[in-house]
Homo-oligomer: A and B are copies of this chain.
Amino acid sequence: MADRESIATSRFKCTARDRACYEAGIKMGTIYHQFVGTPVCLSNVDDLERSIENAIKVQPFVSDAKVKIDRLGFVKDGDRYSYKSLTGEMIDAVVTIVLENVTLVSEMRYDPEMGYPLMFISDIKE
């Protein structure tokens, strides 16, 4: 098999900076749409955070990933129906992409002003 990175690069009709932004977006879409719906409560929330981080780090060009899940809705002595389904509003994620000479930080969190779980680029350096 030929060098797959050369083949991949040849498919992109844009700059390395464009691609870095694109790769960041893919990761945010992955975090949200792969994991929203997962059963979560105090007993597995730490574990789920690590697991999302580690899954995202498997994807291309991710140099770091931090995920925090909002524990506000969790109860300590609930019944068997007290767990939650992970929602986008509960996720706080910071993902760093390094691609060629571009370093980019992307974040996702519930934006109270917007009433929307916004994904955005908070820093990009060439």
Contact = CB atoms under 8 A, between A and B. Distances in A.
Contact of A114 (B8, B47, B111): B8
**Copies of this protein, total:** 4
A24 to B, nearest CB: 6
Interface in A28-66: 28-30, 32-41, 43-44, 47-48, 50-51, 54-61
Interface of A: 1-5, 7-8, 11-14, 17-19, 21-30, 32-41, 43-44, 47-48, 50-51, 54-61, 79-81, 83, 85, 87-88, 106, 111, 113-116, 118-124
22 contacts: A1-B115, A4-B115, A4-B116, A7-B114, A8-B81, A8-B114, A13-B122, A13-B123, A14-B124, A18-B121, A22-B119, A25-B26, A39-B56, A39-B58, A40-B58, A44-B54, A47-B50, A47-B54, A48-B55, A61-B80, A85-B88, A87-B87
